[in-house]
């Protein structure tokens, strides 16, 4: 019975062993088939998936690198641009006109202006068109210019005023200064509101010290600052070595001086300024209508009004007179003669204002380009009157 059992056990054992071996083989074959399938399908799929996942990452990295390179290039370009010296074409500036110099030379037939018909002690006659001195007497000697100074006052002001219609309040400082220094005056009232144009005409036509002082205050803030501007203008005109001013009205001062030659230069510059020429050529003018002067103040250039009906061989267009004890009666005038030639005449130290006028009549009638070969005697019909500005 044991043998039977042993055989059955052995047979069962062999059978189980064979089943185990068969099962193992079957499992081995199954795993082999699985590996083959994985190798055939799964690995390519995984690779494809990996590629799919990797492509965006690679692209992103490539873009990042590209952007970094572009940014670096831009930064380098900016640095180069910042350090680069950029040469841009500079537009050629308009040439600044050189200040005009008025230099006069003696003409070949220059005449002596002194004599019985000429009472002024210093004089000059300049042909504006040729720049020649046609006649003179001590024209380079130092003189006291008196109110001829005001020609430069209005010239400097005209070069710095933009709007002559601007309003100005007359100050007590201006009227007091004019009164204390015994100047001629327009007659403005303290705190009267007038125009800058009133100040220009008031300075020339009636030689108003109040107008001249207020004009200087308007332009420069003080008379002292304005006088500096006047002396700078003298340098520009090339005559600062022989002319120097200390005030705007021509009040006598040892350091306030000029020459007939230099006064001709100043007048020449003034007539080349359109606004100055307009003011210097006015025979009459009425100031602004104000509560203090409802009808304005009528002022006149008495030199022009008195010489306009005298025979001068042309027309005296512009003029400014002056008087202080040290200068006598003096005047600077500009004339256009009948032949079209322009002249400037300056006379100093006549014994009356009428005599000063007749000295200019004599100069224009007897010593200009259209004068007759026979001198014309100048008969003074008017009586000498008190000298004034």
Question: How many CB atoms within 10 Å of residue 122?
Answer: 25
pLDDT at position 86: 47
pLDDT at position 61: 78
How far apart (Å, rounded) are the C-alpha atoms in residues 158 and 164? 9
Q: Does residue 25 share a domain with residue 141?
A: no
- When mean pLDDT is compared across 164-178, 187-201, 356-370, the lowest value belongs to 356-370
Q: Does residue 343 share a domain with residue 194?
A: yes
Q: How far is CA 21 from the centre of its chain?
A: 119
Return the beta strands (E) in 171-214 as ranges. Answer: 193-195
First to last CA, the chain: 177
Whether residue 222 is contained in a domain is answered as yes
Residues 6+ apart with CB under 8 A from 211: 185, 186, 188, 198, 199, 200, 201, 202, 203
Angle made by CA atoms 142, 265, 202, in degrees to the nearest 5: 95
Helix (H, G, I), strand (E, B) or coil at 343: strand
How far apart (Å, rounded) are the C-alpha atoms in residues 301 and 45? 116
Whether residue 32 is contained in a domain is answered as yes
Residues 6+ apart with CB under 8 A from 312: 335, 337, 360, 361, 364, 365
Angle made by CA atoms 124, 125, 128, in degrees to the nearest 5: 130
Question: How many CB atoms within 10 Å of residue 303?
Answer: 22
pLDDT at position 99: 65
How far apart (Å, rounded) are the C-alpha atoms in residues 243 and 263? 9
Place of tokens 């010593």: 367
Q: 167-180, pLDDT tens digit by residue?
A: 999 999 999 999 99
**Residue 133 sits in a domain of what CATH number?**
3.40.710.10
The answer to whether the CB of 233 falls within 8 A of the CB of 155 is yes
Q: Does residue 348 share a domain with residue 217?
A: yes
Q: Does residue 292 share a domain with residue 176?
A: yes
H/E segment holding residue 317: strand 314-324
Q: Does residue 239 share a domain with residue 361?
A: yes
How far apart (Å, rounded) are the C-alpha atoms in residues 160 and 144? 26
Q: Does residue 247 share a domain with residue 153?
A: yes
Structure tokens at 24: 């193992």
Domain of residue 46: give its range.
Answer: 1-58
pLDDT at position 90: 58
Strands 132-137 and 193-195 turn out to be unpaired
Q: Which residues pair with 157 in a beta bridge?
A: none
Q: Which residues pair with 127 in a beta bridge?
A: 132, 343
In the chain, the number of structural domains is 2
Whether residue 79 is contained in a domain is answered as no
Q: Does residue 248 share a domain with residue 183?
A: yes
pLDDT at position 292: 97
Angle made by CA atoms 148, 322, 292, in degrees to the nearest 5: 95
Mean pLDDT of 52-79: 77
The answer to whether the CB of 355 falls within 8 A of the CB of 304 is no
Q: Does residue 356 share a domain with residue 262?
A: yes
- When mean pLDDT is compared across 127-131, 187-191, 202-206, 370-374, the lowest value belongs to 370-374
Whether residue 335 is contained in a domain is answered as yes
Strands 132-137 and 167-169 turn out to be unpaired
H/E segment holding residue 146: none
**Confidence (pTM):** 0.75
How far apart (Å, rounded) are the C-alpha atoms in residues 209 and 220? 16
Q: 84-138, pLDDT tens digit by residue?
A: 544 455 566 666 556 677 899 999 999 999 877 789 999 999 999 999 999 999 9
How far apart (Å, rounded) are the C-alpha atoms in residues 81 and 86? 8
The answer to whether the CB of 268 falls within 8 A of the CB of 280 is no
């Amino acid at each position: 019975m044991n043998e039977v059992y042993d055989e059955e056990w052995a047979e069962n054992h062999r059978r189980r062993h064979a089943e185990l071996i068969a099962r193992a083989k079957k499992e081995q074959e199954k795993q082999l088939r699985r590996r083959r399938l994985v190798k055939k399908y799964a690995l390519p799929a995984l690779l494809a998936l990996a590629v799919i996942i990797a492509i965006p990452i690679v692209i992103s990295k490539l873009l990042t690198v590209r952007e970094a390179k572009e940014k670096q290039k831009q930064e380098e370009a900016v640095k180069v641009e910042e350090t680069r010296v950029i040469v841009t074409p500079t537009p050629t500036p308009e040439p600044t006109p050189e200040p005009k110099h008025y230099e006069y030379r003696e003409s070949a037939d220059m005449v002596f202006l002194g004599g019985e018909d000429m009472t002024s002690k210093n004089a000059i006659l300049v042909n504006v068109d040729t720049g020649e001195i046609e006649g003179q007497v001590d024209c380079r000697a130092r003189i006291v210019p008196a109110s001829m100074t005001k020609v430069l006052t209005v010239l400097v002001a005209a070069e710095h005023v933009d709007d002559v219609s601007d309003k100005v309040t007359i100050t007590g400082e201006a009227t007091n200064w004019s009164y204390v220094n015994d100047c001629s005056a327009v007659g403005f009232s303290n705190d009267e509101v007038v125009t800058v144009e009133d100040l220009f005409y008031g300075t020339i036509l009636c030689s108003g010290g109040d107008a001249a002082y207020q004009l200087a205050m308007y332009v420069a803030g003080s008379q002292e600052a304005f006088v500096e501007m006047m002396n700078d203008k003298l340098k520009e005109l090339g005559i600062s070595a022989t002319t120097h001013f200390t005030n705007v009205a021509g009040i006598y001062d040892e350091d306030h001086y000029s020459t007939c030659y230099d006064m001709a230069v100043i007048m020449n510059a003034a007539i080349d300024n359109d606004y100055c020429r307009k003011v210097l050529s006015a025979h009459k003018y009425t100031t602004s209508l104000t509560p203090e002067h409802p009808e304005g103040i009528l002022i006149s250039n008495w030199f022009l009004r008195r010489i306009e009906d005298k025979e001068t061989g042309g027309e005296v267009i512009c003029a400014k007179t002056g008087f202080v004890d040290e200068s006598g009666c003096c005047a600077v005038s500009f004339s256009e003669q009948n032949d079209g030639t322009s002249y400037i005449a300056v006379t100093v130290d006549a014994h009356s204002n009428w005599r000063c006028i007749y000295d200019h009549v004599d100069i224009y009638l007897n010593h200009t380009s259209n004068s007759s070969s026979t001198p014309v005697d100048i008969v003074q019909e008017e009586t000498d009157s008190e000298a004034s500005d």
